Structure 1
Amino acid sequence: MAKLYVTIQGDTWDAIAYKTLGSEYRLPLLLEANRQHRKITIFPGGIELTIPEVDTSKHTERPPWLGEDDEL
């Protein structure tokens, strides 16, 4: 089930993605779930945004060319 986030004055898409989804690189997922607000750059307070569920089983922080025992 998707969650809701209520913006605070000065929030930006990348900051919200980082706070709610763990990475600013997930911003496209956030935008897709909230297309009606896509033209806002800096949010006023009080806007409700839908925070999509992220399937973390498909996400890895490690590059695919590194093995499990390799160090970064």
Structure 2
Amino acid sequence: MRTYVTVQGDMWDGIAKKTLGSEYYMTALIDANPRYREIVIFPANLQLNIPDAPAATVPSDLPPWKRGDTT
């Protein structure tokens, strides 16, 4: 698991976007750092655990060219 050191003014969604590529991973980030769950705007120098981003799932009902299937 990677770590991230906060900068004054960081927020959960921004950290998720910066470290995991999308603010939609904010819940996973909070779950990996339960002791900081109540913080909305972070002070500087807190070390957060960064979970692995879940693998993207592609709906099977999409046409092959939208699924990335080139065969």
TM-score normalised by L of structure 1? 0.81
For structure 1, the residue ranges without an aligned partner over 5 or more in a row are none
Give me the whole-angstrom Cα distance separating, in 2, the residues matched to 1:68 and 1:38: 41
For structure 2, the residue ranges without an aligned partner over 5 or more in a row are 67-71
Bigger Rg, structure 1 or 2: 2
C-alpha RMSD of matched pairs (Å): 1.4
Q: Which residue of 2 aligns with 1:54?
A: 53
Report Cα offsets for 1:31-62 as digits up to 9, x if no partner. Answer: 00000000000001001000011242xx14x5
Q: Which residue of 2 aligns with 1:69?
A: 65
TM-score normalised by L of structure 2? 0.82
Q: Which residue of 2 aligns with 1:6?
A: 5
Give me the whole-angstrom Cα distance separating, in 2, the residues matched to 1:25 and 1:54: 10
